[in-house]
Amino acid sequence: MNSENSKIMPETLSQSGTISDFLQHEELDRGLSLNTIEAYHRDILEFATLMKLSSDYSISHRHVNDYLSRLNTLNRKPTSIARKISALRNFYKYLVEKELVAENPFEYARVPRISRYHPDYLTIDEVKSILAKPNLKDKRGIRDTAMLELLYGAGLRISELINLKLSAVYDEIGFIKIIGKGNKERLAPYGRYARQAIEKYLVEVREKIKSVAQSDILFLSNRNRKFSRVGAWKIVTKYALLAGIKKRVTPHTLRHSFATHLLEGGADLRTVQELLGHSSITTTQIYTQVDKDYLLSVHRECHPREKKFGRQGS
């Protein structure tokens, strides 16, 4: 590592635009909570301090092993170590995507065995209540409905939604072309309701602003510009609040709900993997625990012995 930068302090790193950009990406694109984002920030700075990280972020696998040994020496809990590894793995994955480092040294770091991640999701009625809130007599409401229907109808990431192009909507076959992580393309169906909402938006809103908006981007903000992640995020949270939903709702919540409802409806894991654009099925498997919870609740509500005697009948 560069000796000139080897004594960099956390205060300097905390001002890094790279770290700030990464944290915003994790919050808006992956839907992580504010508490998790703050924990990730602390984890990155702690790692930089313990390992005397230089400003170019370049490290070797040996540094990762040294870091994990330090954590064990400090008697950190398995859940804490797992989160730190996750934070740093995602951080370096982001750095690789931005071509700021050549490889991800945390890619194969061993994570302590703990309970699995359990994504938040909405019930079908909660999703319906959100989708019903935009005012379809207003051009913004028409646009917002199309955005919400597409987020849920195709399980899009927020970055996929705001980068979607007019030319990527194949209305005649009911598919859209999505540019996902790593610039990977996939064709995905988006459903009857989203299709109708997009058609209404194209005819009644988008077509009328074509002369002032030369962009090929499908969804445009009130200023006829491409949406920022924050702007699209606010639309989702706005209608969740109007629907009276108390739990935290983000664009990624609709993606989680899309996957969970497909599994509850009988879809197989491979199909859901393809629809979500996951490169590995292990990523998709986080939803199987949600599905098991659903099956358990149905069993308890519908089985004659469970229904009559409750938990005592088990």
Q: How far apart are CA 147 and CA 153, in angstroms?
A: 10
Catalytic residue among 25, 83, 143, 157: 157
Q: Which DSSP helix (H) or strand (E) runs through 268?
A: none
**Residue whose C-alpha is closest to residue 82's, from 72, 95, 92:** 72
The total of other beta-carbon atoms located within 10 Å of residue 170's CB is: 12
255 as an active site residue: the answer is yes
Q: How far apart are CA 99 and CA 81, in angstroms?
A: 26
Catalytic residue among 195, 206, 252, 256: 252
Catalytic residue among 57, 121, 201, 287: 287
- Contact by Cβ (8 Å): 286, 292: no
246 as an active site residue: the answer is no
Distances from the Cα of 206 to the Cαs of 101, 131, 200, in angstroms?
40, 20, 9
The total of other beta-carbon atoms located within 10 Å of residue 189's CB is: 14
Q: Which DSSP helix (H) or strand (E) runs through 186?
A: strand 185-189
Residue with the two structure tokens 């001002």: 15
Helices (H), 225-268: 229-242, 251-264
Q: What is the DSSP string of 205-236?
A: IIGGGTTT----BSSB-TTSSBPPHHHHHHHH
Catalytic residue among 93, 139, 181, 200: 181
117 as an active site residue: the answer is no
118 as an active site residue: the answer is no
84 as an active site residue: the answer is no
137 as an active site residue: the answer is no
- Contact by Cβ (8 Å): 244, 134: no
Catalytic residues: 157, 181, 252, 255, 278, 287
